[in-house]
């Protein structure tokens, strides 16, 4: 995936591929506010949101981010004046097939200095052009931006969103017909609820008829500026449909008190706790050991790399997006800590001949995500002369224990850590209880999360889960003058970190079904 090809004239971005402008030269900001914010009556609707409620907006054609920035700024004003409920959250889905580059977004921002702070916040979290969904938190978590870099059909077909308001933007119907097809309108209806509104700058007849066929009540209103008419719409009656695969449907659960109990204070438990705390939850974390990260999460080093696939597009998109999201979160967490636990230096990776090239060709990875290094000093150290050396700038390595300790710290008073052994769990009166050896309640909540690995099988309600242990051992290797030249982590059949405090960490072994915590010489020799 590449950034959009944009030409500039008189300070205005233009797409030569679609033969259209990104926004009107006659008051782009005013047109956006009129067409999308005003016609969807957003500010008055937001005032009806209670504590912890959310509002969902989806935009077809994220473009330069202007609509999003204006929406976020209007939302921020409602927060500042106390006109939305405490911890109410705005979710914004921006769908874009051709992501605009950060440089071009910054150039757009120059047209409106009064929006510079909001554009800067967007640019600070803006992802690389990697196909898939990229979730980023802004405005202290009160805005959740979901950027979906994909064709609109691929973006909407697998989802079941409950969008409150749609912005139908993007290039004009006569320039980009794929964005205005009957199939798109049907998917918009599928991802809407009763009462969902919609607005768009166009008044084209086939757009109006397509929305009506999808179930929307369509109204023509006065357009902005010299434009005579535009369209607004509302979904008065939601169609009742039955999913052909209901087992894939996510349960729509709402928890009023937002309290959870988590069993296990390793990497899984603490990242989950941190994620909930970011959403305003209170968490009780139960750990049988004296300290956090005492078992597998106590490893001194772990590599952050995507799981790569040539043929599985779904897997490839998920893991690439996951890498960028994890890297973004770790960057933010590291800024809040004086202790170094995350080393965002990129990772070198060695592939068998031709595989790296096939990955890039099949998945369309941009060079900023995956780069083949044709000339690099490391190539002289690779035994296979036909192997390919590549580089992943967004990857890196971390100390899992250091990360766990930092997560515990940043959760602050929203997380209570209890040092006790949970022997079983049970549910009574819609509350899950964690029980000690005397069957006494350690802690209880409406939500319980089990994050103690294979130890979950000891709990009767989930003893049926097909869990098995996998043992992995890491080896610490003293650094020398030659090895210290490796300045980034290296991934191949195994991995090795750069020198840190006099050692390199290499690993890891892989033993399915082995749950012994003891170090072995055999695995030391293998590494």
Q: What confidence tens digit (pLDDT) does each residue in 142-156 have? A: 999 999 999 999 999
Please indicate, yes or no, whether residues 221 and 354 belong to a single structural domain of this protein: no
The mean of the pLDDT values for the chain is 91
On whether the CB atoms of residues 352 and 384 are closer than 8 A, the answer is: yes
**Residue ranges making up the domain that contains 514:** 315-325+342-397+471-526
Please indicate, yes or no, whether residues 277 and 182 belong to a single structural domain of this protein: no
Tell me what the mean pLDDT of segment 487-504 comes to: 92
Tell me what the mean pLDDT of segment 114-125 comes to: 95
At residue 58, φ and ψ (nearest 5 deg) are -130, 135
Structural domain contains residue 109: yes
Please indicate, yes or no, whether residues 389 and 281 belong to a single structural domain of this protein: no
Residue 527: pLDDT band by 50, 70, 90 thresholds?
Answer: low
Residue 1: pLDDT band by 50, 70, 90 thresholds?
Answer: confident
Domain end point (choices 429, 447, 467): 467
Please indicate, yes or no, whether residues 522 and 433 belong to a single structural domain of this protein: no
Please indicate, yes or no, whether residues 147 and 37 belong to a single structural domain of this protein: yes
Please indicate, yes or no, whether residues 113 and 231 belong to a single structural domain of this protein: yes
Please indicate, yes or no, whether residues 210 and 263 belong to a single structural domain of this protein: no
Structural domain contains residue 503: yes
**Token code pair at residue 328:** 């973004």
pLDDT of residue 149: 96
Structural domain contains residue 242: no
Distance CA 322, CA 128 (A): 12
Please indicate, yes or no, whether residues 267 and 288 belong to a single structural domain of this protein: yes
Q: What is the pLDDT of residues 154-191, one digit of tens each?
A: 999 988 899 999 999 988 888 888 899 999 999 999 99
Structural domain contains residue 337: no
Please indicate, yes or no, whether residues 365 and 451 belong to a single structural domain of this protein: no
Q: Where are the alpha helices (DSSP H) in 81-132?
A: 102-109, 116-125
Q: What is the pLDDT of residues 346-396, one digit of tens each?
A: 999 999 988 999 999 999 899 999 999 988 888 877 878 889 999 999 999
Give the CATH number for residue 289: 3.50.50.60
- Is 90 exceeded by the pLDDT of residue 19? no
Please indicate, yes or no, whether residues 171 and 223 belong to a single structural domain of this protein: yes
Structural domain contains residue 358: yes
Distance CA 517, CA 291 (A): 16
Distance CA 239, CA 414 (A): 41
Higher pLDDT, 187 or 253: 187
First to last CA, the chain: 37
The distance between the two most distant Cα atoms of the chain, rounded to a whole number of Å, is 79
Please indicate, yes or no, whether residues 393 and 407 belong to a single structural domain of this protein: no
Three-state secondary structure of 319-370? HHHHHHHHHHHHHHHHHCCCCCCEECCCEEEEECCCHHHHHHHHHCCCCCCC
Distance CA 101, CA 435 (A): 53
Give the CATH number for residue 184: 3.40.50.150
Structural domain contains residue 306: no
At residue 429, φ and ψ (nearest 5 deg) are 50, 50
Structural domain contains residue 83: yes
Distance CA 487, CA 492 (A): 16
Distance CA 306, CA 390 (A): 13
pLDDT of residue 445: 95
- DSSP bridge partners of 437: none
pLDDT of residue 11: 76
Domain end point (choices 417, 448, 467): 467
Structural domain contains residue 308: no
pLDDT of residue 225: 81
Structural Rg of the chain based on CA atoms: 26
Least confident of 55-69, 236-250, 410-424: 236-250
Q: How many independent structural domains does the chain possess?
A: 3
Helices 182-190 and 205-213: crossing angle, nearest 10°?
Answer: 40
pLDDT of residue 25: 63
Q: What is the pLDDT of residues 286-345, one digit of tens each?
A: 999 999 999 889 989 999 999 988 988 889 999 999 999 999 999 999 999 999 999 999
Least confident of 198-202, 277-281, 400-404: 277-281
Give the CATH number for residue 352: 3.30.9.10
345, 381, 350: which is closest to 495 by C-alpha? 350
Please indicate, yes or no, whether residues 476 and 444 belong to a single structural domain of this protein: no
């Amino acid at each position: 995936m590449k950034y959009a090809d944009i030409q500039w004239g008189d300070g205005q971005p233009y797409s030569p591929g679609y033969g259209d402008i990104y926004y009107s030269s006659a008051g782009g900001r005013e047109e956006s506010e009129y067409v999308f914010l005003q016609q969807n009556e957003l500010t008055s609707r937001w005032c009806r949101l209670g504590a912890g409620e959310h509002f969902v907006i989806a935009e077809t054609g994220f473009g330069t981010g202007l609509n999003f920035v204006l929406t976020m700024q209007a939302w921020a004003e409602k927060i500042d004046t106390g006109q939305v409920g405490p911890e109410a959250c705005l979710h914004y889905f921006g769908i874009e097939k051709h992501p605009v580059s950060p440089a071009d977004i910054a150039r757009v921002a120059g047209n409106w200095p009064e929006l510079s702070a909001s554009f800067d916040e967007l640019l600070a979290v803006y992802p690389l052009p990697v196909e898939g969904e990229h979730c980023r938190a802004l405005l202290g978590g009160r805005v959740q931006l979901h950027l979906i870099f994909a064709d609109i059909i691929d973006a909407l077909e697998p989802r079941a969103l409950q969008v409150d308001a749609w912005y139908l933007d993007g290039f004009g119907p006569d320039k980009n017909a794929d964005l205005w097809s009957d199939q798109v309108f049907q998917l918009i209806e599928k991802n809407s609820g009763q009462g969902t509104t919609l607005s768009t700058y166009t008044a084209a007849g086939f757009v109006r008829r397509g929305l009506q066929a999808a179930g929307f009540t369509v109204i023509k209103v006065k357009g902005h500026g010299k434009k005579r008419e535009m369209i607004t719409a509302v979904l008065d009656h939601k169609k009742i449909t039955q999913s052909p695969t209901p087992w894939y449907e996510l349960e729509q659960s709402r928890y009023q008190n937002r309290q959870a109990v988590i069993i296990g204070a390793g990497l899984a438990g603490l990242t989950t706790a941190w994620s909930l705390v970011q959403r305003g939850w209170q968490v009780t974390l139960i750990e049988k050991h004296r300290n956090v990260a005492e078992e597998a999460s106590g490893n001194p080093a772990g590599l952050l790399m995507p799981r790569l696939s040539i043929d599985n597009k779904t897997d490839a998109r998920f893991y690439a997006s996951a890498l960028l999201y994890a890297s973004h979160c770790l960057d933010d967490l590291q800024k809040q800590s004086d202790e170094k636990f995350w080393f965002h230096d990129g990772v070198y990776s060695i592939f068998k001949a031709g595989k790296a090239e096939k990955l890039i060709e099949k998945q369309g990875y941009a060079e900023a995500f995956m780069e083949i290094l044709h000339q690099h000093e490391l190539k002289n150290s690779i035994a296979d002369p036909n192997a390919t050396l590549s580089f992943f700038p967004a990857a890196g390595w971390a100390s899992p224990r250091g990360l766990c300790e930092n997560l515990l710290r940043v959760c602050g008073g929203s997380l209570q850590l209890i040092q006790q052994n949970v022997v079983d769990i049970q549910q009574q009166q819609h509350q899950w209880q964690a029980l000690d050896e005397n069957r006494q309640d350690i802690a209880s909540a409406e939500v319980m999360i089990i994050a103690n690995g294979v130890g979950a099988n000891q709990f009767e309600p989930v003893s049926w889960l097909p869990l098995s242990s996998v043992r992995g051992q890491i080896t610490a290797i003293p650094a020398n003058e030659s090895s210290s030249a490796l300045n980034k982590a290296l991934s191949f059949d195994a991995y090795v970190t750069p020198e840190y405090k006099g050692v390199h960490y290499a690993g890891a072994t892989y033993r399915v079904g082995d749950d012994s915590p003891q170090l072995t010489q055999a695995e030391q020799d293998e590494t």
